[in-house]
Amino acid sequence: MADWQMREKRPLRGPRPEPPGPALKNYITPAGLQRLKDEHLFLLSRERPAVVEVVAWAASNGDRSENADYLYGKRRLGQIDSRIRFLTKRIDAAVVVDPAAPRQGAAATRVFFGATVTYKDAAGLEHVVSIVGIDEVDLDRGYISWRSPVANALMKASPGDRVNLLAPAKTERLEIIEVEYAPIPMDPFREPLGAQSTPKVERS
């Protein structure tokens, strides 16, 4: 057999997978981490077992292809497992930073994770934001992610500094008025409405 014919029969190799990069640190406040842990525990110990029981009960009722309880339960189980995997990764990568912890020297007045910052925008309007974890963002309360454009602009600045906020359409000048480190209130995890936290299976 010719050499070119032998080469044609060799199996093609797929692309070599890239080695995994360093895991992104998940900076988070103590209260924010506790909320993730509470949700993780709720899904593992309450909602998932309840849905598993419903799926098992529905499967025993016959034809699964037209069994709404079974189909919904399997879909819900997939959603729960996906959320559990996500929470596990976020908790494992957590780097806890307490906003109320004392800072020494210049760090006490410079913007870092956990800071509550008062700044003035180009129009002269004052804004107050707290820099928190990705899982703790609450724009209604002024809680912004440490990876957001505003937080990136404010980082390491001190009162009196002027920084540039880079936006797609323009660059805006911000003036730092005050930097404070104090507790940042977080709402605790609450069981969602309609959650199947206890088995609701009719037994014959």
Q: How far apart are CA 94 and CA 133, in angstroms?
A: 10
What would the pLDDT profile of 126-167 be if each residue is shown by its tens digit?
999 999 999 999 999 999 999 999 999 999 999 999 999 988
> Residue 83: what pLDDT?
97
Q: Check: CB of residue 27 under 8 Å from CB of residue 95.
A: yes
The residue assigned the tokens 């093609």 is 12
> Residue 14: what pLDDT?
47
Name the band, by pLDDT with cuts 50, 70 and 90, for residue 21: low
Q: How far apart are CA 104 and CA 109, in angstroms?
A: 9
Q: Check: CB of residue 18 under 8 Å from CB of residue 125.
A: no
Q: Most confidently modeled of 13-27, 48-62, 188-202?
A: 48-62
Mean of pLDDT values over 64-92: 88
What would the pLDDT profile of 28-45 be if each residue is shown by its tens digit?
999 999 999 999 999 999
Q: Which amino acid is at 106?
A: A
Q: Check: CB of residue 33 under 8 Å from CB of residue 94.
A: yes
At residue 196, φ and ψ (nearest 5 deg) are -90, 70
> Residue 19: what pLDDT?
54
> Residue 72: what pLDDT?
85
